[in-house]
Amino acid sequence: MQHVTCFTTFLRDVVNLSQAKLDLLDARVEAIYQALKSDPELGPLVLGKKPQGSWAQHTIINPQGDKEFDADFMLHLQEVLEWVDNPATYIDKIYAALHRHSVYKDMPHTRKCRCVQLTYANSMHVDIVPYLHLSDGREVIVNRDENRFEATNPAGFTAWMREKDDIASGNLRKVIRLMKYLRDHRNSFTGTRSIILTTLLGERVTQTTALLEPGCYANVPTALLTIVEDLDEWLQARPCKPSVLDPSQSGLTFDHRWDQRTYAYFRDRIHTHARQIRAAYDETDLYTSVRRWRELFGSRFPEPPGPSSSSTVLAPLAGPKFPVPPLITPTRTGRAG
């Protein structure tokens, strides 16, 4: 059974980052931006800002337990010709501006590969990503580790996401959040970065599927079933790690974001989840179906409305979380993902 109302409640109350936290994030990013714009050395180079990553694509979710959540924003900077052979200078200058600020100098802030990370105690951290339009027409961010520019196309990625979400009747972003919940809160396919997960799920959404299977994206559980089964079929045909192209058409790939071991684990977990979703979706008994959804998402998946609801009847069929693979250790290189 689909339990559309249960999914709506689950997303709103458990999965989605709360509006209060989103408002706090927005306020803090604006404060950081104004501080950098007011800096006597960096300020004249600041041209604007824009959200990036999960925040920009509306796929950000609540962190697990007491863990901090993170978000990226792009700091649009003017090109400095004297730094053309030393792009890492842009990250160094942002770091130095924070280090001079009366408030931020006393907060943890550090230089990462592609950003400067500013950490708020017990709540969140913000990654500030320098972003430039170069005189040769390229849009770039900075790779500090390799001291070079990297092509980027944030508008292209946003357009791609909007197109895919429209095809999926506005349910792709919700499916991505649910799958990120499985990874972060249920310890499934640990090590797979958000940009890869988002891209692989989004690429499975097609106009052809929508035309050949009317209603396949009609609501959240149906879209979840369709997209995950299509992803499973695609993965099972590829035992070796495939190349994952940046859908923004930047010409880059995300291949460096994972290895064969991480891919193989992800492939196996998606294969299992596709069967679990199908079993829960096709189950005709109300409470058995909810138990099957809880086997996947855990005990916080809500009971259906009605006087006969019972937490005993709806106890999960399986343990609380998936086992963490012992050989996969996720790493961060300075960008939320």
DSSP 177-217: HHHHHHHHHS--STT--HHHHHHHHHHH--HHHHHHSTTTT
pLDDT digits (tens, 9 = 90+) for 321-335: 455 454 444 443 333
pLDDT score for 307: 55
End-to-end CA distance of the chain: 32
- Residue 249's pLDDT is 87
**Is the distance from CB of 317 to CB of 292 less than 8 angstroms?**
yes
C-alpha distance from residue 136 to each of 48, 50, 79, 131, 249 (Å):
20, 22, 11, 14, 18
In 3D, which of 320, 284, 273, 280 has the Cα closest to residue 300? 320
Q: Are 245 and 174 in contact (CB under 8 A)?
A: no
Q: How far is CA 330 from the centre of its chain?
A: 14
Angle between helices 260-282 and 286-297 (to 10 degrees): 170
Name 328's Cβ contacts closer than 8 Å, sequence gap at least 6.
190, 191, 261, 262, 265
pTM for this entry: 0.90
Kind and range of the H or E element at 157? Answer: helix 154-167
112 with 333: CB under 8 angstroms?
A: yes
Return the amino acid letter for 102. S
- Which residue ranges in the chain fall short of pLDDT 50? 309-312, 317-321, 324, 326-337
Contact criterion met (CB below 8 Å) for 248 and 160: yes
Domain residue spans of the chain = 4-14+157-297, 17-154
297, two tokens:
């998402």
Instruction: Write down the CATH number for the domain with range 17-154.
Output: 3.30.460.90
The pLDDT score that the predictor gives to residue 122 is: 77
Residue 66's pLDDT is 78
What span, in angstroms and rounded, lies between the C-alpha atoms of 202 and 198? 6
- What per-residue confidence (pLDDT) applies to 185? 95
Residue 127, SS3 per DSSP: strand
- Return phi, psi of residue 75, to 5°: -100, 110
